[in-house]
Structure 1
Amino acid sequence: MSTYLFRLGRWAFRRRRWVLAFWLVVLVAAIVTATASGGQTNDEFTIPGTESQQTTDLLEQKLPALAGAQTQIVFAAPGGGSITEPAYQSAIQSALTQAKSVPQVVSVSDASQSVAPDGRVAQSFVQYSEDPAGVKDSSIDDLVKAMQPVRDAGVQVEYTGSVYPGWRIEVSETPELVGIAVALVILLVTFGALVAAGMPIATAVIGVVISLMGVTAVAAVVDVASASTTVAIMLGLSCGIDYGLFILYRHRNQLLRGTPTEDSVALALGTSGSSVVFAALTVVIALCGLAVVGIPFLTVMGLCAAAAVTIALLIALTLLPALAGFAGPTLIRFVSTRLRPGHHETVAKTAATEPARTFGAKWARFVVHFRIPVLFAGVALLVVLAIPALDIQLGLPTSGSQPTSTTERKAYDLVEDNFGPGFNGPLLVVADGAVSQDSVQQLAVALDQQPGVASAAPLAVNDQVAVVRVIPTTAPNDEETADLVHRIRDNRATVEAAVGGVPVTVGGTTASNVDVSQKLADALPVFLAVVVGLAFVLLTLAFRTILVPIKSILGFLLSVAAAFGAQVALFQWGWGEHIFGITPTETISFLPIIMLAIIFGLSSDYEVFVVSRIKEDHSETGDARGAVERGTAQSARVVTAAALIMFSIFVAFMFTDDPTIKALGFSFAAGVFLDAFVVRLTLVPAVMAIVRGKLWYHPQWFAKYVPDPDIEGKHLEERLAAEWSSDPAGSRTPGG
């Protein structure tokens, strides 16, 4: 592999104008395609094979009026007054009559028939002909305009449901800009040169824009969850910068030792580029592994993120060498200040020519010297952090988890306080067959007698299907509500007896959330086995030993468990309520599986970066323990910079209003930080120093039948050294 990448680097360097032109054309084409497609992400989750999805499909087929999107409008009288006062009722009735003429609206319920016991709050349900993705923003705007007379009368009007004003998650550019700004500072410190610091950011931004436009275009033909865009941007930006940083850092060090620019670019791609390829492949495998879960929105999310990482890899392997060709020696033109003239150049040359004098080398010597206590301390820290993960509770976001300033949260609180928590998450029990009015009433009575049911009443009936709305006594994400869903399903025979044996199913948004959480929990072991198994094979091929992949996987399990624990403590237990401005709630049901995919992929990145340098040194010297010190010293600076960049990008996404994105940002940031600094730069060197040369053992048949990808570039450097030794200039210096 290293030889092919060496040739690719030289080709991209020599044809840099064509390479740059190609990527600019791809960028423009992606923007034009996305703009023309008009694609939009949404949060409509489909779960094939679950009972709630079967119920939704049944309603779409036999009772379309209840299958479309819904807006719940909540009216609250001012000053603790009664919403039944004639002035308020007149304004509400007039507004609801106007709402019936809003495009895509098929029905509007009478608010006077749904008044809270204390008379202060009423609610109305607006049913649309389309599913949430098909409801136009203009229809929602018209609905808000229709409610203006009610607001003019002094009534508080709030909205919730599957669609409502502002329901679409707008992707803010602020987190990306903050992340890029922090990354630039870190890169300036790492490289000490402005051009070198800006190049990985420039290539990463190009990749992210292409990825984002691609996701937008795909959203025009398939359902793409809003979080898919966020995850794709997070990974595209962070991986793009990291891959560029790793290759460019090698190239910069070679330039400082006198290697000609063209040879240095090609050699950096042939050595560090091999590590980048294997690192990216592990991330892509982990993300594509989300398809085994069998939930479409997660599959699409994983594929979108995998595409973003793939584009980041391709740009790092082609556009980065091309830009390095344009930059030439300016990559080692260091920033100088009056207070510390020449400081950056001195630090850079020390790292390139005397790595044993760097802070990373001091840290490596400390870890190797105190390897046993360091190992125990690191493992103990991660285990303690992981303890809260034992109390993890899964659920999908509801209006109750949104910021208190949003209309959906205000509507949620008004309903909970005045009607009861169960009114925010009603269940739909559907009888699939011709049922009489009396039978529907008997079905409602039978459901009303179930423990955990506040009320049950017929909602709709025709000659094909009947629907009963069941109001639980508990909130949508309460464990007792999930128990109620399972209880009705387990007692299906008793419930069906009330309607003469007609098949009955349980659906609705709350039941759907229960089914998603259950399916995700069931899929976790299978997903973990598939992804870890494939990555194990890939890492075994890369390092030609089974002990390195085993060590990598165990370290990953420790770091991801610790990240889970921190997330549960701060977001579920509420320790971070005032710090992050969030409402304590259940862990998002798809967060664990997304974290497993992403953190595993990124942890493999750092594993490859660190261990490849150790393996390279060990191949040259045969000194196992010394190789750990020197290899860690050579990789510590670049891995630290890469991890801090990725950490800062993830943290930047915590400064959004959406609680889902906040939880994702924190979890990814915690996982990356712990994995990079506690596991890869501390526990990994400690373990390798303890095991020493035995770590590189592999059976003879393995060496005979399994090809050597030469990830560290040893064979490439040996061949180039022989070729360049006859160079009259005598200035070429392979290695790095």
Structure 2
Amino acid sequence: MSSILYRVGRFSFRHKWWVLVGWLAALVVVAGSVSALQPKFSQDFDLPGTDGGIAMEQMQEYFPQLSSQMEKPTTTVVVQADDGLAKHAEAIDALVGDLKKLDKAEPDTIVSPLAVAAAQPQLAATVIGDDGRVGLISVSQSVNMMDVDVELKNQLVDTLAEHRGDGLNVEAMGGVMSSMEPAGKAELIGFAIAFVVMIIAFGALVAAFIPLVTGLVGVGLTMMLVTLSAEVLSINQAATAIITMLGIAVCIDYSLFVVSRYRSEVNRGGAREDAAGRAVGTAGSAVVFAGLTVIIAVAALMVIGIPIITQMGLGAAVAILVAVCAALTFIPALLGAFGRFAFTPRIPWIKHAEEHPTADSLGVKFGRQLVKRPIPFVVAALAILIAAAIPMKGMQLGMDTTTDDQVAAQKLISKGFGEGVGGQLMVVLHTEEGTIDDAANTAVAEIQAMPGVESPQTLRWMGNGADLQNPNANANSAMITVTPISSPSSEETHDLVEKIRATSDAIGEKGAEIHVGGQTAILSDLSAKLDKALIPYLIVVVGLAFLIMIGVFRSILVPLIGTLGFIFSMIATFGITTAIFTDGAFGLIDHTKPLISFLPIFLIGVVFGLAMDYQVFLVTRMREEFMHGMSAKDAIVAGYRHGSRVVVSAAIIMISVFAAFMLSPDTTAKMMGFALAIAVFFDAFLVRMIIVPGVLAMLGERAWGLPQWLDKLVINFDIEGEKVRNRGLPAEGSSTLENPEPTPTGAA
């Protein structure tokens, strides 16, 4: 493989303008397609094959008008007054008047809760609660939910602000409030920090720009491809934030490794095009296998069978693939375009920007101390991980995706109407044998007797009969809207969903089927499905990656140590994330909530792949030096000399990019950004930089090598690039191979 990659790097360097134009053409074509088609992302969770998914499919088939209405945004505006709403009737009427003037508003449906209660006393309890202190106003707008933009949200927010005050509190949730601000702030912060880190790493401005430009091109192409796929597939908007943050971090990281290696090869001598070939043939080999590990980890998420998880996984896999291709072709082409100016202007006050065969950097000094006394270092690192993991015992999983600007409305609604308002269950019944009357009446009676149902006496069923004035007549399908007392993500609501589904036998005796849908039920199904898939997924991903690592390191102990270290970093990540987001530790989060249900399984896939990246880039150099005759401990120090600076820089970049997404108002992006950032910190700095080298130092020569029978079966991937490390060098350059601190490969 190294020989092929050598030719790819050399070709890209020599034919730089063709390669750069090719990438630019790809960007233009994909961008043009996106502009012409204007694809839209989905806002809803869909779970085909589950009971909730079947219910939603039947709603669309048997209640098309209702399904069409549900596709429009309906925002719940909450009005609250401690002295009672009746004393603020005039102010509420003025609010309603302005709400009717909103763009795309359906004015006939926007009514004061006081007016509804006066005209239809039987509905008073549904719009006024907390003894007349809390009221609800539904604001429907005639636009598809997928077309809602932040301008509609801002218009509503401004209207609410104008009418808030003088004892009247006005908040909103759902509908257009779910619209997100355009992405950009988090990405810009991540890029800015990455640029600073790369300036320090390279000690030169132009070289620092090269990975940054690559990141922009790679992420831009990836996101446009994902957006374009939304034209033919239902892509949830929540998946895009994960793809963006991962794409930025990996693109910059892989570029950093190749550019660093190129500088080392230029210093060895020979033509620059050969140096580019050697850089891609050595560091590029590590990039390919590291990228392959991540792709396997995230693409395997599709076997779970959950659309949003599949979208995240495949989107992330595309991002990694683009990052690998950019590192192998776009980077050498850029290096060729800049030529001898690639590492100018130099910044003299930055020390050790270039590795030196004798000067001791901080990484070398640390490595020597580690191999000298590995046990205290390993014990200290493990102690930190175990301490961080302790809060994991209180970990809760759910799907509370309420953004911070909707929390106030949610609290008011909970106070006036219970926590279940806004998380209604849609119970759907259907029969192929006559009418649904008997089955629907039985279902209503069964549900009314269940604990946990809000206002059970008001439960009614609605049919799909042809007579719009009496839709229950001659209907073969029915729908019952059930409001739980408990919150959508609570265990009590999950139990209520299962109790309703347990009536299927009684309903079946009436010749009908019953299913429970709605976003609350679907998210409950999602959590249950993820719980079942977690362990099998972990086994499959770790197993496949473990086999790849055996081939990469040609050792059993090295992959085993790395995998066990990953498990420690994962439980520490779950623990500290639970402490901050669920327990409210350190006051970083104003509104605590359970961890997103798909966080553990997605985090395992992504972080395991990233962990193996650092394992590949750092430990391959240690193996190479050991195979070239160094003692086991000296080889570890050599690995630090040639890999620690770049690995630390890459980890800081990745942590910064992920952490920047905590500024997002989107709960999913915020939580995933923090969890990924802290996971990379634990794994890169504690596991890869301390625990793995420390245990290798304790094992000595026993850590390297395979049993003879297994050695014959494992393919030699030549990840260190042994076949190409001297191509294009002058004859006298070969003498550098006898230097006890050889030129870096793999991790440089």
What's the TM-score once normalised by structure 2's chain length? Answer: 0.87
1:223 equivalenced with 2:215 (yes/no): no
Distance 1:105 1:564, change over 3 A: farther
Tell me whether 119-128 or 378-387 shows the greater mean CA deviation. Answer: 119-128
Please state how far the C-alpha of 1:525 moved relative to its aligned partner. 1.3
Q: Which residue of 2 aligns with 1:714?
A: 722
1:388 equivalenced with 2:391 (yes/no): yes
CA distance in structure 1 between the partners assigned to 2:79 and 2:370 by the alignment:
63
Tell me whether 324-333 or 559-568 shows the greater mean CA deviation. Answer: 324-333
Q: Which residue of 2 aligns with 1:477?
A: 489
CA distance in structure 2 between the partners assigned to 1:72 and 1:730 by the alignment:
70
Q: Which residue of 1 aligns with 2:353?
A: 348
Q: Which residue of 2 aligns with 1:560?
A: 570
Distance 1:40 1:100, change over 3 A: closer
Q: Which residue of 1 aligns with 2:14?
A: 14
Distance 1:430 1:732, change over 3 A: same
Matches within 5 A, 1:114-263: 114-117=126-129, 118-123=131-136, 132-133=145-146, 158-161=171-174, 164-263=175-274
Q: Which residue of 2 aligns with 1:270?
A: 281
User: Per the alignment, in what secondary structure is the counterpart of residue 76 of structure 2?
Assistant: strand
Please state how far the C-alpha of 1:65 moved relative to its aligned partner. 3.5
8 Å Cα contact 2:100/2:106 also seen in 1: no
Distance 1:274 1:688, change over 3 A: same
User: Per the alignment, in what secondary structure is the counterpart of residue 80 of structure 1?
Assistant: coil
CA distance in structure 2 between the partners assigned to 1:465 and 1:635 by the alignment:
66
CA distance in structure 1 between the partners assigned to 2:253 and 2:79 by the alignment:
52
Give 2:313's aligned amino acid.
G
1:395-429 CA deviation, whole Å, 9 max, x = no partner? 11243xx21xx2x3343222111111122322222
Tell me whether 414-423 or 641-650 shows the greater mean CA deviation. Answer: 414-423
8 Å Cα contact 1:73/1:157 also seen in 2: no
8 Å Cα contact 1:396/1:589 also seen in 2: yes
Matches within 5 A, 1:165-564: 165-336=176-347, 342-344=348-350, 347-349=352-354, 351-354=355-358, 357-399=360-402, 402-403=403-404, 406=405, 408-433=406-431, 440=440, 443-456=443-456, 457-461=459-463, 462=472, 463-493=475-505, 496=507, 500=510, 502-564=512-574
Tell me whether 107-116 or 197-206 shows the greater mean CA deviation. Answer: 107-116
1:217-265 CA deviation, whole Å, 9 max, x = no partner? 1122222222322122212111111111111112212333445422222
Say what the alpha-carbon RMSD is for the aligned residues: 3.5
Q: Which residue of 1 aligns with 2:469?
A: none
CA distance in structure 2 between the partners assigned to 1:699 and 1:396 by the alignment:
47
Distance 1:77 1:231, change over 3 A: closer
CA distance in structure 2 between the partners assigned to 1:710 and 1:432 by the alignment:
62
Please state how far the C-alpha of 1:362 moved relative to its aligned partner. 0.8
CA distance in structure 2 between the partners assigned to 1:694 and 1:266 by the alignment:
34
Q: Which residue of 2 aligns with 1:675?
A: 683
Distance 1:502 1:696, change over 3 A: same
What's the TM-score once normalised by structure 1's chain length? Answer: 0.89
CA distance in structure 2 between the partners assigned to 1:99 and 1:266 by the alignment:
60
Distance 1:384 1:523, change over 3 A: same
8 Å Cα contact 1:599/1:672 also seen in 2: yes
CA distance in structure 2 between the partners assigned to 1:210 and 1:281 by the alignment:
19
Distance 1:278 1:412, change over 3 A: same
Please state how far the C-alpha of 1:11 moved relative to its aligned partner. 0.9
CA distance in structure 1 between the partners assigned to 2:83 and 2:36 by the alignment:
50
Counterpart among 684, 693, 696 of residue 685 in structure 1: 693
8 Å Cα contact 1:453/1:472 also seen in 2: yes
CA distance in structure 2 between the partners assigned to 1:435 and 1:37 by the alignment:
44
CA distance in structure 2 between the partners assigned to 1:75 and 1:538 by the alignment:
56
Distance 1:47 1:104, change over 3 A: farther
1:17-42 CA deviation, whole Å, 9 max, x = no partner? 11111111112222212222212323
Q: Which residue of 2 aligns with 1:58?
A: 58
8 Å Cα contact 2:247/2:323 also seen in 1: yes
Distance 1:559 1:418, change over 3 A: same
Q: Which residue of 2 aligns with 1:2?
A: 2
Please state how far the C-alpha of 1:444 moved relative to its aligned partner. 2.8
User: Per the alignment, in what secondary structure is the counterpart of residue 179 of structure 2?
Assistant: coil
Distance 1:335 1:693, change over 3 A: same
1:44 equivalenced with 2:44 (yes/no): yes
CA distance in structure 1 between the partners assigned to 2:262 and 2:613 by the alignment:
19
Distance 1:441 1:631, change over 3 A: same
8 Å Cα contact 1:99/1:108 also seen in 2: no
User: Per the alignment, in what secondary structure is the counterpart of residue 424 of structure 1?
Assistant: coil
CA distance in structure 2 between the partners assigned to 1:459 and 1:99 by the alignment:
33
Please state how far the C-alpha of 1:89 moved relative to its aligned partner. 8.1
1:527-547 CA deviation, whole Å, 9 max, x = no partner? 212211221222122222222
8 Å Cα contact 1:83/1:121 also seen in 2: no
CA distance in structure 1 between the partners assigned to 2:197 and 2:153 by the alignment:
44
Distance 1:392 1:145, change over 3 A: closer
Distance 1:691 1:208, change over 3 A: same
Distance 1:12 1:444, change over 3 A: same
Give 1:547's aligned amino acid.
L
User: Per the alignment, in what secondary structure is the counterpart of residue 453 of structure 1?
Assistant: coil
Q: Which residue of 2 aligns with 1:643?
A: 651
1:590 equivalenced with 2:598 (yes/no): yes
Distance 1:715 1:165, change over 3 A: same
CA distance in structure 2 between the partners assigned to 1:60 and 1:143 by the alignment:
31
Please state how far the C-alpha of 1:508 moved relative to its aligned partner. 1.8
Tell me whether 213-222 or 310-319 shows the greater mean CA deviation. Answer: 213-222
User: Per the alignment, in what secondary structure is the counterpart of residue 692 of structure 1?
Assistant: helix
Please state how far the C-alpha of 1:359 moved relative to its aligned partner. 0.9
Please state how far the C-alpha of 1:714 moved relative to its aligned partner. 2.1
1:569-604 CA deviation, whole Å, 9 max, x = no partner? 00011114x324x31101001111111111111101
User: Per the alignment, in what secondary structure is the counterpart of residue 353 of structure 2?
Assistant: helix
CA distance in structure 1 between the partners assigned to 2:238 and 2:145 by the alignment:
16
User: Per the alignment, in what secondary structure is the counterpart of residue 504 of structure 1?
Assistant: strand
CA distance in structure 2 between the partners assigned to 1:716 and 1:141 by the alignment:
58
1:689-720 CA deviation, whole Å, 9 max, x = no partner? 12222222213344434331110112333x63
Distance 1:359 1:183, change over 3 A: same
8 Å Cα contact 1:254/1:352 also seen in 2: no
8 Å Cα contact 1:283/1:306 also seen in 2: yes
Give 1:447's aligned amino acid.
I
Structure 2 stretches lacking a partner, 5+ long: 118-122, 464-471
Please state how far the C-alpha of 1:731 moved relative to its aligned partner. 13
1:345-391 CA deviation, whole Å, 9 max, x = no partner? x6235x23325x11111111111111122222222221221122232
8 Å Cα contact 2:99/2:105 also seen in 1: no
Distance 1:83 1:661, change over 3 A: farther
8 Å Cα contact 2:96/2:112 also seen in 1: no
Give 1:73's aligned amino acid.
T
